[in-house]
A and B are shown apart, each in its own frame.
Chain A
Amino acid sequence: MRFQISNLDFFYGPKQALFGLSLNIPTNHITALIGPSGCGKSTFLRTLNRMNDLIRHSHYTGEILLDGQDIRKIDAVNLRRRVGMVFQRPNPFPKSIFDNVAYGLRINGYQGRLADLVEHSLRRAALWDEVKDILHKSALILSGGQQQRLCIARALAVDPEVLLLDEPCSALDPVTTAKIEELMFTLKDSYTLAIVTHNMQQAARASDFTAFMLDGRLIEHRETSRLFTTPSDPRTEAYITGRFG
């Protein structure tokens, strides 16, 4: 188990957003988090790399272990290097494609041939062939799908153990989405992935485990194939059959 989460309660100020969440995120598998808008999926994901630390007056109780170590005992900067994140909207830096991928390496004081690792990361993100001749052009000239793969390459460059994807395809068309899902498959051999998605087909296609959340609570969490064929909770069934959400 890469992440072990137990009894997680999360608060934005006085408002509680997550209630007693307990689940494990297994190494080298893809875990999907599904549920209607506002159910706390993104909040949960952002707790795992302590991005929520940046929100004033937010805090959580309970325990989150990364490789058995409490993430509150890990320096946040170091934690975020180990737990990479890809956001809902592609957010490349207004720098060159090369500098985008090299950014994480540079800030972590990487001593080595940047060019090799940049190429390696772009290849892993299935973007190399499209950008190898324009590495020094602005990342902003790329299409949305290319930008998102660039963001994945950027996250992979610092060699994280976990990759958190917060609705990475919601701003992309179906063809590009398929490319990213394919990419996720190839990545799970070396990484642990957790993906928040609104798209149930995506969860069904692309993940090994699925967690269904509702109103800040975890309703059901099991193998994706079983959750989608024989859900044990009536609310899960109602959601995946499209009766609400």
Chain B
Amino acid sequence: MSVRLVWRKAVNAVMLGLTGVCALITVGVLGVILGYLAWHGGRDINWNFFTKLPAPVGEAGGGMANAIVGSAKLLVVASLFGIPIGLLSGVYLAEFGGRWYSFFVRYATDLLNGVPSIVIGIFAYAVVVVPRHQFSTLAGGFALGIMMIPIAVRSAEEFLRAVPSSLREAAMALGASRWRTVATVVIPAALQGIIGGIMLDLARVAGETAPLLFTAFNNLYWSPGWNQPTASLPVLIYTYAISPYDDWHRQAWAAGLVLLALVLAANIITRLMLSRRGAARGA
């Protein structure tokens, strides 16, 4: 009996330890990535990095201002396209959906979420780039916009569903129509959460490389307007990282650090917004 007890205690301790170690590894991976990026890329982040164009190989200095602006423009196009469609679909699912059509939309959304990003890139290439014979910010933004839709749909639906139905009843009992109720009571009540979800969505596509490779392509210079190929941070990291030059490797690390910092910032802002929302609700 006592041997059995010792054995059970040992198993218990080992398994507890194992879960703790795995949890530590999870946190550690992020820490190591951050540390590695900061170590390799931190030294190359300076004012020039944010304001100058890339320097030719062998020349010192240079920055990636065009890639930062390019990424921002891509995200603007993606947002204009992806967010309204995603949001309104989410509103439909949460507020108006019939049974089987909603099931179908939800299922399709999940499938879309699972479509590999390179496939979405090929699709955007086929429907935007090929007919216009032109790589462009629009094409890249279109690809990223498609990628944003599923998460925008699901986060909008989730946060709208979390709004108590008593608020809907209150508005309807005052003579508000369904749409009026949704627009003036339900969406405002869920807004912080929805915005948070969209921030995370943006942060996710900000780092996508594959859909941009043959849509936005790349550009060593500024990309005027929306109809020219453009540089972007992820593609630039990819290009620099596979190059044989040490200078470029360091720049790639620096760009990686900047990208990660942006994603982390979006995450932290989102968390803060969501926790403020929780506090407001508890009051």
Interface residues of A (CB under 8 A from B): 49, 51, 54, 77-78, 80-81, 84-85, 87, 89, 91-95, 103-104, 107-108, 138, 140-141, 151, 154-155, 158
Q: Which residues of A contact B170 (CB under 8 A)?
A: 87, 91-93, 151, 154
In whole angstroms, what is the CA distance A158 to B172 when docked?
A: 13
Q: What are some 29 contacts across the A-B interface (CB < 8 A)? A: A51-B169, A51-B172, A51-B173, A80-B174, A80-B175, A81-B174, A84-B173, A87-B166, A87-B169, A87-B173, A89-B166, A92-B170, A93-B171, A93-B185, A93-B189, A94-B188, A95-B188, A103-B171, A103-B176, A104-B175, A107-B174, A107-B176, A108-B175, A138-B280, A138-B283, A140-B281, A141-B283, A154-B170, A154-B174
Complex contacts, A91 vs chain B, CB 8 Å = 164, 166-167, 169-170
Q: Which listed residue (B166, B174, B177, B189) contacts A84, Cβ 8 A?
A: B174
Per-residue A-contact encoding for B147-181, CB less than 8 Å = 1, 0 else: 00000000000000000101101111111110010
Q: What's the nearest-Cβ distance from chain B to residue A2, in Å?
A: 17
Counting CB contacts under 8 A, is B51 at the interface?
A: no
Which residues on the B side are within 8 Å of A108 (C-beta)?
175
For the complex formed, measure the closest distance between the CB of A42 and the CB atoms of chain B, giving whole angstroms. 12
Which of A80, A94, A151 sits near B280, CB closer than 8 Å?
A94
Residue of A nearest to B181 (CB): A107
Tell me whether B48 is interfacial, beta carbon within 8 Å. no
Residues in B neighbouring A94, C-beta threshold 8 A: 167, 188-189, 280-281
For B170, B174, B189, B280, the residue with the greatest tally of chain A CB atoms inside 10 Å of its CB is B174
Q: How far is B175's CA from A158's CA once the two chains are assembled, in angstroms?
A: 9
Contacts A94-B189, A108-B175; is A140 near B283 (CB within 8 Å)?
yes
Q: Are A140 and B172 in contact (CB under 8 A)?
A: no
Contacts of A87 in B (CB 8 A): 166, 169-170, 173
Any A CB within 8 A of the CB of B184 = yes
Cα A181 to Cα B170 with chains together (Å): 21
Report the Cα distance A2→B24, complex, angstroms.
69
**Residues of B that sit less than 8 Å from A by CB:** 164, 166-167, 169-177, 180, 184-185, 188-189, 280-281, 283
Please name all residues of chain A whose beta carbon is closer than 8 Å to the beta carbon of B184 when the two chains form the complex.
103, 107
What residues of B have a CB within 8 angstroms of the CB of A103 in the complex?
171, 174, 176, 184-185
Q: Is the CB of B280 within 8 A of A140?
A: yes
Name B180's contact: one of A93, A95, A107 (CB within 8 Å): A107
Contact B173 A77 (CB under 8 A): no
List chain A residues, Cβ under 8 A from B180.
107
User: Distance in Å from the Cβ of B95 to the closest Cβ of chain A?
Assistant: 11
Within the complex, the shortest CB–CB distance from A57 to chain B, in Å, comes to 11
Chain A nearest CB from B176 CB (Å) reads 5
Residue in B closest to A80 when the chains form the complex, CB atoms: B175
A154-B176 Cα distance, complex, nearest whole Å = 13
CA distance A140 to B188 in the complex (A): 15
Q: Is the CB of A158 within 8 A of B189?
A: no
Q: How far is the CA of A47 from the CA of B281 in the complex (A)?
A: 31
Residues of B within 8 A of A49 (CB): 173
| A93 contact set on B, CB distance < 8 A | 167, 170-171, 185, 189
CB distance from B170 to the nearest CB of A (A): 5
Q: How far is the CB of A133 from chain B (nearest CB, A)?
A: 19
Measured between C-beta atoms, what is the minimum distance from B162 to chain A in Å?
Answer: 12
Given A91-B164, A141-B283, are A155 and B173 neighbors across the interface (CB < 8 Å)?
Answer: yes
Q: Compute how far the CA of A49 lies from the CA of B173 in the bound complex, rounded to whole angstroms.
A: 8
A131 to chain B, nearest CB (A): 16
Q: Is the CB of B167 within 8 A of A77?
A: no
CA distance A15 to B281 in the complex (A): 36
Query: Using Cβ atoms and an 8 Å threshold, which residues of chain A touch B185?
Result: 93, 103
Q: Quick one: given A87-B170, A94-B189, A95-B188, are A78 and B175 in contact (CB under 8 Å)? A: yes
A32 CB to closest chain B CB (Å) equals 20
Q: How many whole Å from A103's CB to the nearest CB in chain B?
A: 6
Q: Which residues of B contact A81 (CB under 8 A)?
A: 174-175
Instruction: Return chain A residues, CB-CB under 8 Å to B172.
Output: 51, 54, 80
A155 CA to B172 CA, complexed, in Å: 11
